[in-house]
A = this chain, B = another copy of it.
Amino acid sequence: VVSIKDIAKKLGVSPSTVSFVLNGKAKEMRISAEMTKKIQQTAEDAGYHPNQVAVSLRTGKSRIIALIVDTISGSFFSSLARTIEQEAQDSGYRVIYCSTGNNIKKGGDLIQMMHQYQVDGYLIIPSAGMEKDIELLLDKNKPLVLMDSYFPGMAAPYVLVDNYGGVTQGMEHLIQKGYKKIAFVCNDVDMVQMHERKKAYEATLRKHKLRFSRQLMCETKYTASKEEVVNTLKVFLEKNKPEAVFFAANYLGVYGLESIKSLGWSIPKDIAVVCFDDLDIFNLYPPGITSIRQPIEEIAKKAIQLLLQLMNDSSKPKKKGVQLEPQMILRQST
């Protein structure tokens, strides 16, 4: 491996001269044009590549953004990742992904570790239990932006979809279509985005003077296996026989379709379906599942834009949170 020193020695100049040239500070430092050329040439020929670890240690910067996420699968993440990576690259940053694997402790470790690796900024899809670690970053003045959810009362900028509005939109649609007995399937994740969705469900029912009943709300365990959830839903649906069901998350929609399928019910004849967060499969699956699409690309764009801003301006804009509007995709399930 060739270092700055090596190429300095080869040219009989000092390492600093080489460093300046290689960092584009040649004219700023008034290095002669010929020297500059010579250095660039030898560096090129020698196949020089800066040791980022040394640069990091010295400068305290890494030009890396960490994208920390609960689970690396999941379409929300996939779509997000692509956009973020593109935008980051355009600004000279690299993105590395880390998943906490639904593991509270690991989330903390991970943030710690990224911190020790001196990543410059954090994009975080927060999960329950990450508060303390995020607070820590905040205390250390690390630039960070939350996506998809946030912690009430915490001074971290966030960007997410209007969850309340999205569910309201879907519920209004169902009600307007004449469905009265509308079930709501959610999970027990203790985070605002889910709270908002639940609130919106209940509020829309009440607004239309429809009976809100705890019976019709099925709160599945987030940590349960697919089989367990599918089964729970099956029991729930069979017992309550709702006219329509609103799934509060895309994976719940998928599981729900499986339950409905195994009950032998037909959509929308036996039951109408709306799901929060669109998936390709909702378009494909007959008869097509009406869904509330999150503007994932915009979320990603906005988030990275905020982050870059935080990383460059030392002046904290402290624009607390941004909400983006979802869009209802009408299909034949309603």
A: residues with CB less than 8 A from B are 1, 49-54, 56-57, 62, 71-75, 78-79, 81-82, 85-86, 89, 94-99, 101, 106, 110, 112-113, 115-118, 140, 254, 257-258, 261, 280-281, 283-286
* Residue in contact with A73 in the complex, picked from B49, B54, B78, CB distance below 8 Å: B78
Residue from B53, B75, B106, B286 within 8 A of A261 (CB atoms): B286
Select from chain B the residue with minimum beta-carbon distance to A281: B281
Contact B284 A254 (CB under 8 A): yes
Main secondary structure of the interface of A (DSSP, over half): helix
Give chain B nearest CB distance to A299 CB in angstroms. 16
- Tell whether A81 pairs with B73 under 8 Å between CB atoms, given A98-B96, A281-B284, A284-B254: yes
Report whether B52 and A116 are in contact in the complex, using a CB–CB cutoff of 8 Å. yes
CB neighbours (8 Å) of A283 from chain B are 258
Cα A99 to Cα B83 in complex, Å, equals: 12
Q: How far is the CA of A258 from the CA of B101 in the complex (A)?
A: 32
Closest-CB distance, A250 to chain B (whole angstroms): 12
Contact of A52 among B86, B101, B117, B257 (CB under 8 A): B117
Q: How far is the CA of A52 from the CA of B56 in the complex (A)?
A: 10
Contacts of A110 in B (CB 8 A): 94
Q: Is the CB of B50 within 8 A of A116?
A: yes
Instruction: List 8 additional contacts besides A72-B97, A97-B98; criterion CB under 8 Å.
Output: A1-B140, A49-B115, A51-B116, A52-B117, A53-B53, A74-B78, A96-B96, A254-B280
- 9 pairs of A and B residues whose beta carbons are closest in the complex: A73-B78, A52-B116, A97-B97, A96-B96, A53-B56, A53-B57, A72-B81, A281-B281, A57-B57
A-B pairs with beta carbons under 8 Å apart, 27 shown = A49-B115, A49-B116, A52-B116, A53-B56, A53-B57, A53-B116, A53-B118, A54-B57, A71-B82, A72-B72, A72-B97, A73-B79, A73-B82, A81-B99, A85-B101, A94-B98, A95-B98, A96-B96, A96-B97, A96-B98, A97-B97, A97-B98, A254-B280, A281-B281, A281-B285, A285-B285, A286-B286
> How far is it, in angstroms, between the C-alpha of A115 and the C-alpha of B50 when the chains are bound?
10
Residues of B within 8 A of A78 (CB): 72-74, 78
- CA distance in complex: A117, B89 (Å): 17
Q: For residue A284, which residues in chain B have a CB less than 8 angstroms away from its CB? A: 254, 257-258, 261, 281, 285
A281-B258 Cα distance, complex, nearest whole Å: 10
Chain B, residue nearest A279 (CB): B281
Nearest chain B CB to A233's CB is how many angstroms away? 13
Q: Which residues of B contact A73 (CB under 8 A)?
A: 75, 78-79, 81-82
In the bound complex, CA of A116 to CA of B57 (Å) = 13
Q: How far is the CA of A281 from the CA of B54 in the complex (A)?
A: 47
Q: Which residues of B contact A115 (CB under 8 A)?
A: 49
Nearest-CB distance from A309 to chain B (Å)?
24
Residues from chain B with Cβ under 8 Å of A54 in the complex: 57
